[in-house]
Amino acid sequence: MKQSIYLLGLGCAAIFMHSTVADACRGPFPQSIREAYDKAAVVFAGRVAEITEKGVHRQLPQSKIYEAKFQVSRWWKGGGGREIHILLDDTSCGVYRFMKNGDEWVIFGAGSPRHTSLLSGNIRITEPGKDWRKVEDALGKGEAPR
């Protein structure tokens, strides 16, 4: 009996150790860039200028909230300025752990205050020619900030 419980515990540990973000973050991911656009309140491209910790997540006290400041290069929806602040978190669906200062992203934000997650359809621009072509094919060139 003790051996069975030990083996069961070992099996559960092995499953948890091999979990990935995709395993932990479940939800309706957008099927296309256009679907992400349609669901978002703001859509822009920008470079991460700064990420600061803002406090503890109200609904998940073991998680933290962060604010990312973006220098905007293009707008498609809901804005126009050269800078925007977006809230992130470090939950399983949080995009925070993937963002670094200097990275360029296309962000699909929602809510008030503005926030985003892995479920929003954000795109990190890693291969500029290929990534921009994909975004522009779906949304057009966008507008420069005012």
For 7-45, the pLDDT digits (tens) are: 334 343 333 333 334 446 888 889 999 999 999 999 999
Give the pLDDT confidence score for residue 24 in this predicted structure: 66
Q: Let me know how long the chain is.
A: 146
* CATH, range 27-139: 2.40.50.120
pLDDT given for residue 99 in this prediction: 95
User: Who contacts 31 (Cβ-Cβ below 8 Å, separation ≥6)?
Assistant: none
Tens of pLDDT along the chain (146 residues)? 555 443 334 343 333 333 334 446 888 889 999 999 999 999 999 999 999 999 998 888 889 999 999 999 999 999 889 999 999 999 888 999 899 999 999 999 999 999 999 999 999 999 989 999 999 999 999 999 99
Burial code (b: 16+ CB inside 10 Å, e: under 16) for 50-68 equals ebeeeeeeeeeeeebbbbb
Name the pTM for this structure: 0.80
- Give me the residue spans of the domains in the chain: 27-139
